[in-house]
């Protein structure tokens, strides 16, 4: 029975290729809408936690008041020294971050050039902080005074610097917080919804550019993130529990997954962004459902005499339901493939233009395909009511 249904469903769809092409284009457009929403949402989350993914270490220390990475809530450096004294800790290292006063300006822009904000990240150059080989390979460049690496994925319209020529980059006349800085190389981290770009520099240079971090005393005596390396043979959870009991109540000790989850949950639940993206996905679903309904309904209306004959011959209701279900599944597949291809091209273009991590994940593909199947099947079940409620005798 199944082998006979599929050819009939296929022939119903393909007898008018022009209508089928319009249907595929409509469903593909709905797929593109949903992929765009999923892509931007994933880009938001992945980009926000990219710095967490790029750092080495199994545990992270942050201030209890730090509800998101963009919040400049800090804790004393003494917590790092306390962490180093704990059993199971191979090393604990400070990371410094500045956003509010971190303004990069090209000097040839004149006095009227206000510069652009970006995140500046500082660390002691001998500390194993970042995973990326390209950062580790440029450590010696950062040992020079007034030097920094710039994120080549920083927004191009704001940070118009040479991306692929380090010598030309170093010749750029640039100021950071009204002090000259030499950009000695690039790295790849990417932008997010809170940061338009990134700089990396040694801790000593960081203190020079941001002395205000502590009104009285050493600006490096307060830190933004502590990176903890756990010794081999020790359980991460055990070391985490020991640190929680040893350190003060002003810091949280988080695993990498907990740190990522906290950051993602903030943007998903504490801001309207999650609701906006959900609404966008629902709009794409509804658009595709309307288009698919019109296609299947028109097909049923055009073939009413044929369906009436089948009903008069005794074909049961389940036969027609299965027939429309197969048509719906075929439409979902035919519309999903070009929609997914177009979305991949769009992801690539948007990633290059914005610096966001627009990637088509397996989870995202599965979600959009499941939504596409659901909207096509729901449309088919709505459209088939006309056929099921009709009297065969009145259809001739």
- State residue 66's pLDDT score: 92
39, 41, 250, 358, 360 from 364: Cα distances, Å: 8, 10, 38, 11, 6
Q: Helices (H) and strands (E) in the chain — how many of each?
A: 16, 13
Does 389 have pLDDT greater than 50?
yes
Q: Which of 217, 219, 215, 195 is nearest to 207 (CA)?
A: 219
- From the centroid of its chain, how far is CA 195? 14
Quick: pLDDT tens for 177-235. 889 999 999 998 888 777 888 999 999 999 999 998 876 578 999 999 999 999 999 99
Burial of 152 from C-beta contacts in 10 A (0-12 / 13-18 / 19+) = buried
Domain range list for the chain: 2-48+272-395, 65-249
Quick: pLDDT tens for 285-319. 888 888 888 888 887 777 777 777 777 787 788 88
- State residue 117's pLDDT score: 87
Kind plus residue range of the DSSP H or E element containing 94: strand 89-98
**In the beta sheet, which residues pair with residue 185?**
149
φ/ψ (deg, to 5) at 120? -100, 135
Mean pLDDT, the chain, whole residue set: 86
Higher pLDDT, 64 or 154: 64
- State residue 220's pLDDT score: 92
Across residues 111-129, what is the average pLDDT?
85
Does 321 have pLDDT greater than 90?
no
* Confidence band for 369, pLDDT divided at 50, 70 and 90: very high
């Amino acid at each position: 029975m199944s082998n006979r249904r599929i050819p009939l469903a296929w022939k119903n769809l393909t007898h008018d290729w022009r209508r089928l092409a319009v249907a595929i284009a409509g469903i593909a457009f709905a797929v593109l809408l949903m992929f765009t929403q999923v892509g931007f949402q994933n880009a938001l989350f992945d980009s926000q936690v990219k710095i967490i993914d790029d750092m080495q270490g199994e545990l992270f220390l942050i201030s209890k008041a730090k509800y998101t990475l963009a919040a400049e809530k800090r804790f004393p450096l003494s917590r790092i020294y306390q962490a180093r004294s704990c059993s199971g800790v191979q090393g604990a290292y400070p990371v410094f971050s500045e956003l509010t006063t971190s303004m990069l300006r090209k000097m040839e822009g004149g006095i009227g050039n206000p510069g652009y904000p970006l995140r500046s990240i500082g660390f002691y150059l001998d500390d194993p902080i970042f995973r990326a080989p390209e950062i580790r390979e440029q450590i010696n460049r950062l040992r020079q005074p007034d030097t920094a690496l710039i994120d080549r994925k920083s927004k191009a319209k704001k940070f118009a610097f040479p991306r692929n020529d380090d010598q030309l980059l170093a010749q750029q006349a640039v100021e950071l917080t009204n002090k000259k800085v030499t950009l000695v190389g690039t790295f790849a981290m990417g932008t997010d919804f809170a940061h338009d770009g990134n700089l990396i520099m040694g801790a000593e240079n960081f203190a020079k550019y941001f002395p205000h971090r502590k009104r009285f005393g050493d600006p490096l005596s307060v830190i933004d993130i502590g990176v903890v390396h756990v010794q081999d043979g020790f359980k991460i959870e055990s070391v985490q529990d020991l640190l929680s009991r040893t350190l003060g109540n002003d810091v949280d000790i988080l695993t990498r997954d907990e740190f990522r989850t906290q950051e993602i949950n903030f943007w998903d639940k504490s801001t309207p962004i999650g609701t906006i993206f959900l609404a966008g996905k629902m709009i794409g679903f509804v658009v595709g459902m309307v288009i698919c309904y019109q296609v299947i309904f028109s097909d049923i209306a055009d073939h009413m005499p044929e369906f009436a004959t089948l009903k008069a011959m005794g074909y049961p209701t389940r036969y027609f339901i299965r027939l429309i279900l197969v048509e719906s599944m075929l439409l979902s597949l035919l519309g999903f493939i070009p929609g997914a291809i177009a979305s991949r091209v769009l992801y690539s273009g948007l990633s290059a233009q914005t610096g966001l991590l627009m990637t088509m994940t397996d989870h995202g593909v599965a979600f959009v395909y499941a939504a596409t199947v659901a909207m096509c099947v729901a449309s088919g079940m709505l459209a088939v009511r006309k056929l099921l409620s009709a009297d065969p005798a009145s259809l001739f």
